[in-house]
Each structure stands twice: as C-alpha cells, then as structure tokens.
Amino acid sequence: MPKLLLTLLCITFLISSCKEGKNEIPTTENDLIEKPEFAIVIHGGAGTILKENMTPEREAAYKAKLEEAIMVGHNILKNGGTSMEAVTKTINVMEDSPLFNAGKGAVFTNAETNELDASVMDGKTLNAGAVAGVTNIKNPIDLARAVMDNSEHVMLSGKGAESFAEEQGLELVDPSYFFTEGRFNSLQRIKDREKTELDHDAKAAYYDTELKDYKFGTVGCAALDKNGNLAAGTSTGGMTNKRWGRIGDAPIIGAGTYANNETCAVSSTGWGEYFIRAMVAHDISALMEYKGLSLQEAARIVIQEKVANLGGDGGIVAVDKDGNITMEFNTAGMYRASIKSNEDPADWYL
C-alpha cells in the first residue's frame, strides 16, 4: 500500500477510534498493520566473519540451508501446526548440517570430544526441557523436547540424559558422527594460541578476530503459531576448547531460551558465560512484562547495554505475542532469517 494512503488511513482511523474509547486508540502506524497470523525467526549464530573467509559458494551454502530450515517451520505454521513443532523441526535442519555449531558440525572440547547442549520452552504452559553435555544424540533439540514432554524434570545432563534418550527411542549416533575437519582445526589453533594468552582481553580479542567463522554456528528459533502460542529453542556444541564439563547458556532456561505467551519467545547466541550472567532471554521478557517495553526496545537494552557492558557479545532472535520480530546483536554479524504470515516467503533472507 502506498505510504501516503496508509498515512491517510492512519489519521482517519485515529480520529474515528478516538471517539470509541481509550483502549482502541492505535498509537503507531504499526497498530494499523494487520497482525500476522503466525511468524518465525531463526539464527545460525553470531560473530565475526571475515570477507576473505566467506566465498560466494560458502555464502550460498549458508543461505540455502537457512532458507531450507525456515521454510520447514513456515510450512508447519501455515498448515496450522504448533510453534513447538515448527521450532524443533526447523532446528533439526540446522543440526543436521555441518555448517552450524549444533548437532553435526559441533565445536570441539579441549578433550577433543563434542558435548552438545539444547533447550526448548513452550510459552503457553511455561513448560521447558533442556539437555547438557550429551555426546551421542543426533538431534539434541528432540531430546530437550522429550525431557519437557515425557519426564518430570526440566534439565538432564551427560550420561543420564543419554540413558533417557535411549529409553525414549531417540536416534543415537557414534560420537564420531559430529566430527568436522574445520572445527577440529579450529580447536588446534586455539590450543596453540592459549599457551601464550589467557587473560580476558586477550581471549576477547582472539575470539573476535581469529576464531572468525568458527565462533558462528549455534542455532535457534522462535515462533508464534495460529493459536497465539509462542515457543523457542536453541541447540549448540558450545564454545570451542571448553573443558571441565562447561555448560553454556543454550540449555539454561532464561538465558539461552525463554518463551511466555504473555510476552515473547527468545533464542540466544553468543558468549554463553555473559548470557548466563545477564539472564538474557528472560530479561527481555521481564522488561516487557514488568516495564511494558516493546520487544525491540527490551532486546536492544539487554544486548546493546547489559551484555555489552559486562564485556560479552552475541545476539538474539525473538518474536512477541503480536508477531513482531526482533533480531538484535552486538557482533559484526549474525546468520538470521524471518518470515511472517503476511510477508512474502521470498523476502526471508537478511
């Protein structure tokens, strides 16, 4: 619709609704744009990509996989499926791709193993499920969902989580399934470098510059379905060179993932230690709930001020109960995509 016409409509509607009562007065142009019936947003990790490392072929591969993933979720939502189904199935596509640091392609621990973390949350019930440090589950996001649906717990870790996965009949793989050469080489470079630099600033500079693409890759999704239910999920291999059973923000409800039908659904990616300390995903929801902020403003404060002031970096994708989408990051980039029901799916890529 031409902008002038929309503005005129805005004014006409404002004048007429003023007569009808306070609650119906639209305050912005956005209020007059039809709310989407459903919406979905995904990320494939935040960080720095150097131009020389991003060949046209590589970029095309990421773009194709992001498109494939988001279209899976979009179609589920379009056909009336739940936001939880859309979130998990969308994440499965990225977990199965070696391009991302989740499932196949996960980063390596200091002990040269892969330990995967994942979580999901249902905004309608506030139920949640999470797993940490699993080594043989093909799709950790499915295990997180099984924990939510079929156990009385919220978070399972390590061997116990793996036994539960077996009982649930989830697909198990040999740990070697997760190996990729790029991630392995990345670990070796960090180990070499670590011998000389261990303080915070040196590590931060190193993560910013030398890890390049390797810092990218955690995956996440947030969605709103036709019934107005929100859901979010996050899946990751964590951070390269992690040790001592380190667990990041991704499986921590409130840090890496949060969903509440009253506010929003959020999935985080970034330097997990900071995202845990800032309780990023829940903080965004809380700013909306208690302070009445918009999703966009709440996300900006948490990512650009709270996390950044602590010294952390990363980003989030989120959708609110009205289908507004936000993709906020304080890194140089974040793989991301979104589609609303009232948008052309061809415009999904940012």
Residues that bind ligand ASP in the complex, under the rule CB under 6 A: 45, 215, 218, 236, 238-239, 248-250, 269-270, 272, 275
In the complex, what is the shortest distance from the CB of residue 299 to ligand ASP, in angstroms, rounded to a whole number?
16
12 carries an active-site annotation: no
Using CA atoms in the order 246, 91, 303, 226, what is the torsion angle rounded to 10 degrees?
Answer: -140
Report the residue number, 75 or 157, with the smaller CB distance to ligand ASP: 157
Nearest Cα to 120, choosing from 157, 83, 71?
Answer: 83
In the complex, what is the shortest distance from the CB of residue 70 to ligand ASP, in angstroms, rounded to a whole number?
18
Report the residue number, 89 or 215, with the smaller CB distance to ligand ASP: 215
Token code pair at residue 89: 């199935």
Report which DSSP code applies to 199.
S
In the complex, what is the shortest distance from the CB of residue 239 to ligand ASP, in angstroms, rounded to a whole number?
5
132 with 158: CB under 8 angstroms?
Answer: yes
248 with 276: CB under 8 angstroms?
Answer: yes
In the complex, what is the shortest distance from the CB of residue 143 to ligand ASP, in angstroms, rounded to a whole number?
17
Distance in angstroms (rounded) separating the CA atoms of residues 199 and 308: 18
Report the residue number, 123 or 220, with the smaller CB distance to ligand ASP: 220
Report the residue number, 164 or 275, with the smaller CB distance to ligand ASP: 275
Distance in angstroms (rounded) separating the CA atoms of residues 283 and 262: 14
Catalytic residue among 82, 90, 109, 218, which?
218
Distance in angstroms (rounded) separating the CA atoms of residues 206 and 125: 41
In the complex, what is the shortest distance from the CB of residue 98 to ligand ASP, in angstroms, rounded to a whole number?
16
Contact partners, residue 65, CB within 8 Å, separation at least 6: 44, 93, 94, 97, 99, 100
Distance in angstroms (rounded) separating the CA atoms of residues 309 and 72: 37
Distance in angstroms (rounded) separating the CA atoms of residues 254 and 279: 6
- The residue type at 175: P
Report the residue number, 105 or 272, with the smaller CB distance to ligand ASP: 272
Q: At what angle do helices 83-95 and 56-78 cross, to 10 degrees?
A: 160
Report the residue number, 123 or 238, with the smaller CB distance to ligand ASP: 238
Residues linked to residue 155 through DSSP beta bridges, in sequence order: 130
In the complex, what is the shortest distance from the CB of residue 238 to ligand ASP, in angstroms, rounded to a whole number?
4
Which residues have a catalytic role annotated?
218
